[in-house]
Chain A
Amino acid sequence: MTGLLFLIPIALLLGLIGLAAFFWSMHNGQYDDLDGAAMRILIDDEDEQ
């Protein structure tokens, strides 16, 4: 029983952190340009010094 006192809050907290991270990423515009993100990985950034 005492294990539950720790495990349930920990499980809920981890879930809440995930939820908060999702909300943050949405407000931060992480999903605004999904196709562009896939493309940008291919850009060489050697001239950006």
Chain B
Amino acid sequence: MKQMPVPHAAENYQETRFSVPGMRCAGCISKIENDLNHRPGVAAARVNFSTRQVAISHSGDIDPPQLHAWLAEIGFEAEQVENPVASPDAAETRALVKALAVAGFAAMNIMLLSVAVWSGAEFATRQMFHWISALIAIPAIAYSGRPFFRSALAALRHGRTNMDVPISIGVLLATGMSLYETMVDGPHAYFDGAVMLLAFLLAGRVLDAMMRDRARGGVAALLKHAARGAMVLDERGVSRWVASADLQAGMVMLVAAGDRLAADGVIEEGETHADLSHLTGEVRPERMGPGDAILAGSLNLDTPIRVRVTAAGADTSLADIARLMDAAGQSRSRYVRIADRAARLYAPAVHSLALLAFAGWMLAGAGWHQALLIAVAVLIITCPCALGLAVPVAQVVTAGALMRLGLLVKDGSALERLAEVDGVVFDKTGTLTMGSPVPVSLDMMNAREKAVALTLARASKHPVSQGLAIALVAEGVEPVALEDLREEMGEGVYGRLGGTDVFLGRIDDLACAESHGCMLKIGHRRGIVIAFAETLRPEAKETVDEMRAMALRTSILSGDRASAVAPIARLLGMTAQCNARPKEKLAAIRRLSQDNQKLLMIGDGLNDGPALAAAHASMAPGSASDVGQQAADIVFTSRSLMPVVQAIGASRRTMKIVRQNFALAIGYNVLAVPLALAGMVTPLVAAIAMSGSSLIVVANALRLNRIGS
């Protein structure tokens, strides 16, 4: 029998979570769990496949880098993530699902009892059924109605009205009136109508919340880009692990090749290339040496360096971007959903109608009891089912159809905002162009040189060599076997081919030093320079033309150099702004928004984060940084840019269907309200009308399923 780890008291253990995007199958789950569970000091490892995360409960003497190394050993790239502090969004969805479960249970049972009443139960039986209905309905309404009551109260307290105000008043009045009817043994109790209304509306809310849940806080993801901590050298030259929160200015960090910086600093020792793409959007690694400032989140590509910390924690420029994004996102949260805008017009009309009915019947001498009953029937029949159900259903159906096209919509309001845009702003690197560099041509090499280049390129993780390897494999090149493969950081990869030295790496020829690329050397012959360039995404030109046909203004907003942006701007016929830092991108978006333009920002990098959050709507490609993906409303996973246009078209169609649904709902009210005013709406008629109108708007929304087919 295998020795099981001795269980310790729970408080000796701490939990660390890693995001492991590379999990694909059941094999990965069992590999990770089995391996980690057998490591010393690990109490339990549990994979959540839906979120691609693994939660590891381990003893305090194992630090996160050790766990990270273990995961790397079994072949998984992992990134530590914060332990989830119960996110308010997820908790809200949970509460809504529970409310829906209770309302659904109550509605079904009351409906069964109501059917008996409608089919003619009388006297004691009817009274008993009404009492049982009341006993089920009142606790259920008190529980399931809370989301509506709370939001209605909050709106009224601020002197505003939203969709929940007419719903709450209608439900409460109907319940109170029905309770009175039950007590005086009257024939009309609307418990079924009130509970069913809540169930329908909650179904709409749950759909909406589930969609929104996919969007998580962009800011949390942003801080993920800074390392969790760093190895710090103390005065005696001993290194120890310090978490980012405890780093202080003046400390000296050792940053290994392939690590991200945990704080801003100045390089003290070592020359390296750093990937600053998260700040500048420039994919070309920057050469840095002693005295150069380097920012938190930068990726040290090739040589270990020593960095003296100048700013840590909340003072880093990365934290600055997080604050910018947070502030920029607030303007979007002021956006009013179309259902609420409609409710602002709709609610006063419905309420005055019910009031008029009450007053009219009182004047006609019907007595306050009958007049109130009719007023309640008017409220129930006009309750905005279409607003509460039809809008989310239309948006969820569209989101589902777009998902099949490779577009992930994170929020229903995103579709509403996307339908309104009249201008599109593109980032260049990674958005208009593919993120990874691609060799311009491979024709300068013969077949043997290509084979050598492929073997060498595969030995390195540098973006340029990876781009070269992909291009060579795509041409069908087969690698050759080389001996003594070794990578010199910052130089390139060396090897031997049957006694001849071969090398792939940095261009040493001064004349070509400006060109972006690498050099292949075989023996003592002159090196072959392989130039690299950015390539446009497929169908970029068609996409931009299509947008112009849709009367959308287009422009480029890039952090890259003018010389790199100009050819692409010229090719696509767009105006461009270059050298824009994150703050300047944000300012540009704000300036255009003030001219009453509603902008769609499409970007991918960390540097686009604030601009993505500030724009009226935003999209990011699937290759984008985490921050880009989190800040954007919609993520498209295809290589082509065409889905962007499809999404705009789909959002416009969705809004057309939503408006049709409003028209249907109002048309139905035009038919039903006179009946209610005339006092001819019994609980049976109310129940049929409510289900009927809900089914019609849902069926109409389902037509959106045909998008893209």
Q: Does B522 contact A (CB under 8 A)?
A: no
Q: Are A26 and B50 in contact (CB under 8 A)?
A: no
Q: Are B26 and A19 in contact (CB under 8 A)?
A: no
Q: Which of B62-70, B96-104, B464-472 binds A?
A: B96-104
Q: What is the CA–CA distance of A15 and B105 in the complex, to the nearest angstrom?
A: 7
Which residues in chain A, 1-49, are within 8 Å of chain B measured between CB atoms?
A: 1, 4, 8, 11-12, 15-16, 18-19, 22-23, 26, 32-36, 39-44, 47, 49
Taking CB atoms, residues of chain B closer than 8 Å to A43 are 26-27, 29-30
Q: How far is the CB of B241 from chain A (nearest CB, A)?
A: 31
Q: Does B510 contact A (CB under 8 A)?
A: no
Taking CB atoms, residues of chain B closer than 8 Å to A22 are 101
Residue-by-residue, is B569-608 near A (CB-CB < 8 Å gives 1, otherwise 0)?
A: 0000000000000000000000000000000000000000
Q: What is the CA–CA distance of A8 and B50 in the complex, to the nearest angstrom?
A: 41
Chain B, residue nearest A18 (CB): B105
Taking CB atoms, residues of chain B closer than 8 Å to A19 are 101-102, 105
Taking CB atoms, residues of chain A closer than 8 Å to B97 are 26
Q: How far is the CB of A4 from chain B (nearest CB, A)?
A: 8
Taking CB atoms, residues of chain B closer than 8 Å to A47 are 34
Q: Does B42 contact A (CB under 8 A)?
A: no
Q: What is the CA–CA distance of A32 and B94 in the complex, to the nearest angstrom?
A: 11
Taking CB atoms, residues of chain A closer than 8 Å to B112 are 11
Chain A, residue nearest B33 (CB): A43
Most B CB within 10 A of own CB, among A8, A36, A41: A36
Q: Are B105 and A39 in contact (CB under 8 A)?
A: no
Q: Are B1 and A49 in contact (CB under 8 A)?
A: yes
Q: Does B109 contact A (CB under 8 A)?
A: yes
Contact of A40 among B26, B98, B109 (CB under 8 A): B26
Taking CB atoms, residues of chain A closer than 8 Å to B125 are 1
Contact of B48 among A4, A32, A41 (CB under 8 A): A32
Most A CB within 10 A of own CB, among B27, B47, B50, B51: B50
Which residues in chain B, 461-520, are within 8 Å of chain A measured between CB atoms?
A: none
B contacts, CB < 8 Å to A: 1-2, 25-27, 29-30, 34, 47-51, 94, 97-98, 101-102, 105, 108-109, 112, 125, 128, 132, 136
The 9 A-B residue pairs with the shortest CB-CB distance, nearest first, are A36-B49, A42-B26, A39-B26, A43-B30, A35-B50, A33-B48, A35-B49, A33-B50, A19-B105
Given contacts A32-B50, A47-B34, 12 further A-B contacts (CB under 8 A): A11-B109, A12-B109, A19-B101, A19-B102, A23-B101, A32-B48, A33-B48, A36-B47, A39-B25, A40-B26, A43-B27, A43-B29
